[in-house]
Structure 1
Amino acid sequence: MVFYFIGLGLSNPEDISVRGLRLVQGAKRVYLEMYTAILMASQEEIEKTYERKVILADRTMVEQESDIMLENADKEDVCFLVVGDVFAATTHSDLVLRCKEKNVPYEVLHNASIMTAVGCCGLQLYNFGETVSFCFWDDSWQPDSYYDKIVKNRKLEYHTLCYDIKVKEQTIQNLMKGNNIFEPPRYMKTHEAAQQLLDIIERVRAEGEVSRETQCVAIARVGAKDQKMASGTLEELAKIDLGAPLHCFIVTGKLHPMEEEFLAKLLSQES
């Protein structure tokens, strides 16, 4: 018997592989990880597509209560479904280590991830540097350490893929007080990310490697029928709302002529 890690792809429940679907339909239990990313479908739609009930696995279950999921996984098939690819989030590597510690047989079924599908905007994957996560700011907490990674990538002439998603997160105050109170899900949009970078340039750091005129790319709902993309300067993209989540934002590095042509001809038409 096996604990299966199954990537679901980018957006639609039907993006699961044929083998993955067969394993889901034959498993004793099926968990759906629902905090590092989301499918563009409700739980009811997912269960209808897979013809199976699924158990939603939040951050607490995956990171602190994994024993619940791994229980009897050496005696019965269990599926752990991940939006995108299984290893796009480091949390899932930790879960593999727990399988090894408990001598639970496991198998991984890969699928498309935003980290590869981002190539749809015309930027070449081998020109990307370290990926960064943006932070939602409030009046008293405005971290900007990720900006240093963008600057580092720019100096190396690399593009930077940026995103943020918050599902079942706690405020700093509730964490400190031990209150089991969670904030509603939030998904950063590209125009919000662009504005945050502009604020950092304006209030924290002088323009240098990143400026208002830096070429950037905004992408929304990759892999869905209503996928949207736009290209422009950082300042221009701060004014463009691409609609519903999920979004990702790219700060470009040195552009290859083919990349420049793609951004100029294709994305200018889409936006």
Structure 2
Amino acid sequence: MLYIIGLGLADERDISVKGLEIVRKADRVYLEAYTAILLVEKEQLEAYYGRQVILADRELVESQSDEILRDADTKDVAFLVVGDPFSATTHTDLALRCRQHEPPVPTRTLPNASILTAVGATGLSLYTFGQTVSMVFFTDSWKPSSFYDRIAENARLGFHTLVLLDIKVKEPDLQALARGKIVYEPPRFMTVAQCASQMLEIEEDRQQGVCGKEALAVGVARLGSADQEIVAGTLEDLAAADLGRPLHSLVLCGKKMHEMEWEFVRGFAKDLTKFDAIWKRDYGDKN
């Protein structure tokens, strides 16, 4: 059987008791290592689990999944996922491959906390979040702005938008690849400040008032860990904020933010007077 096991958000101790029992008995243990990362190294997982952990990069999961599924119809294979197993479509695809495999591979999924639920620590109601969007690193020649349209749809309904930030792990150096050499770039993790700056850059082009300088937002880092950070302010404020090491995410607040949400979020404000003034002017149910 293939067990797709959520690890939670922070470290080796966030795994469920059920998941830990399976990992310690499995024939092979893989750790998916490109859609998200834990805040500890693989060796720390191995020490706690008492098992060797095989890192599964994008190529292994998406192009060589038969290796992961090898003998999984007769043996137990654990596939570890940071957060919750089905927070990324990659893992849905892997489960579908199990169904299509010959012979079919039985699967079992063990859920865990993910950023999609942990973001409730900001005080913003999960009931009033709209579509989740992803923000990729801009380059000089590539600045995709499709995220803006989805945020605009959420904004029209007064919904908050969770923005998941890009990570680059084991990405090939394209210049080296053109010379026939496989060289990987150093890992990169987008920060709240980079995300806010890119949102403001696209706003300058679109000019629809969706991601303006005075739009209220909340930046989060390392949710679920002992050193988690939550900072609230305008996008302009967050573009200058330093929340420390990864992983980061950002929430753009919906205009119908309830008074109870405001009371909670303002406790994280960089500039309380400014935050309150903008909320009272532009937010809440004005109808």
Bin of the TM-score, shorter chain as denominator length: over 0.9
Q: Is contact 1:229–1:270 with CA below 8 Å preserved after alignment?
A: no
Segments ≥4 residues shifted beyond 6 Å: 172-179
- Of stretches 240-249 and 138-147 in structure 1, the one that deviates more from structure 2 is 138-147
Once residues 41 and 131 of structure 1 are traced to their aligned partners in structure 2, the CA distance between those partners, rounded to angstroms, is 26
Across the two proteins, how many residue pairs are aligned to each other?
268
- Of stretches 87-96 and 147-156 in structure 1, the one that deviates more from structure 2 is 147-156
Residue 252 of structure 1: aligned partner = 253
2:122 equivalent to 1:109 = no
Q: CA deviation at 1:184?
A: 2.2
Q: CA deviation at 1:179?
A: 6.2
Once residues 257 and 86 of structure 2 are traced to their aligned partners in structure 1, the CA distance between those partners, rounded to angstroms, is 28
Question: Structure 2: where are the runs of 5+ without partners?
Answer: 273-287
Q: Residues 147 and 44 of structure 1: is their aligned pair in 2 closer, same or farther, counting only changes over 3 Å? A: same
2:26 equivalent to 1:27 = yes
RMSD: 1.9
Q: CA deviation at 1:137?
A: 1.2
Helix, strand or coil: the match of 2:55?
strand
Q: CA deviation at 1:176?
A: 8.0
Question: Structure 1: where are the runs of 5+ without partners?
Answer: none
User: Residues 50-97 of structure 1: CA distance to partner in whole angstroms, max 9, x if unpaired?
Assistant: 111000000100011000000100111110000000000000000001
Once residues 15 and 150 of structure 2 are traced to their aligned partners in structure 1, the CA distance between those partners, rounded to angstroms, is 33
Residue 133 of structure 2: aligned partner = 132
Q: Is contact 1:155–1:209 with CA below 8 Å preserved after alignment?
A: no
Q: CA deviation at 1:169?
A: 2.7
Helix, strand or coil: the match of 1:69?
helix
Residue 78 of structure 1: aligned partner = 77
Q: CA deviation at 1:200?
A: 1.4
Q: CA deviation at 1:168?
A: 2.1
Residue 65 of structure 1: aligned partner = 64
2:199 equivalent to 1:200 = no
What letter corresponds to residue 224 of structure 2 in structure 1?
G
Q: Is contact 1:228–1:270 with CA below 8 Å preserved after alignment?
A: no
Q: Residues 161 and 178 of structure 1: is their aligned pair in 2 closer, same or farther, counting only changes over 3 Å? A: farther
Q: Is contact 1:27–1:79 with CA below 8 Å preserved after alignment?
A: yes
User: Residues 85-137 of structure 1: CA distance to partner in whole angstroms, max 9, x if unpaired?
Assistant: 00000000000011111211110000000001100000001111111111111
Q: Residues 71 and 195 of structure 1: is their aligned pair in 2 closer, same or farther, counting only changes over 3 Å? A: same
Q: Residues 174 and 131 of structure 1: is their aligned pair in 2 closer, same or farther, counting only changes over 3 Å? A: farther
Once residues 56 and 237 of structure 2 are traced to their aligned partners in structure 1, the CA distance between those partners, rounded to angstroms, is 38
Q: CA deviation at 1:147?
A: 1.4
Once residues 69 and 60 of structure 1 are traced to their aligned partners in structure 2, the CA distance between those partners, rounded to angstroms, is 12
What letter corresponds to residue 168 of structure 1 in structure 2?
K
Q: Residues 198 and 124 of structure 1: is their aligned pair in 2 closer, same or farther, counting only changes over 3 Å? A: same
Q: Is contact 2:173–2:182 with CA below 8 Å preserved after alignment?
A: no
What letter corresponds to residue 257 of structure 1 in structure 2?
E
Residue 120 of structure 1: aligned partner = 121
Identity of aligned residues (%): 52
Q: Is contact 1:215–1:233 with CA below 8 Å preserved after alignment?
A: yes
Once residues 181 and 157 of structure 2 are traced to their aligned partners in structure 1, the CA distance between those partners, rounded to angstroms, is 43
Once residues 168 and 126 of structure 1 are traced to their aligned partners in structure 2, the CA distance between those partners, rounded to angstroms, is 36
Q: Is contact 2:200–2:211 with CA below 8 Å preserved after alignment?
A: no
User: Residues 169-223 of structure 1: CA distance to partner in whole angstroms, max 9, x if unpaired?
Assistant: 3466678888644322211110111111111122x12252331111100000000
Residue 160 of structure 1: aligned partner = 161
Q: Is contact 1:169–1:182 with CA below 8 Å preserved after alignment?
A: yes
Q: CA deviation at 1:26?
A: 0.4
Helix, strand or coil: the match of 2:260?
helix
Q: Is contact 2:232–2:270 with CA below 8 Å preserved after alignment?
A: no
Q: Residues 173 and 141 of structure 1: is their aligned pair in 2 closer, same or farther, counting only changes over 3 Å? A: farther
Once residues 270 and 85 of structure 1 are traced to their aligned partners in structure 2, the CA distance between those partners, rounded to angstroms, is 34
- Of stretches 131-140 and 103-112 in structure 1, the one that deviates more from structure 2 is 131-140
Helix, strand or coil: the match of 1:5?
strand
Q: Residues 11 and 105 of structure 1: is their aligned pair in 2 closer, same or farther, counting only changes over 3 Å? A: same
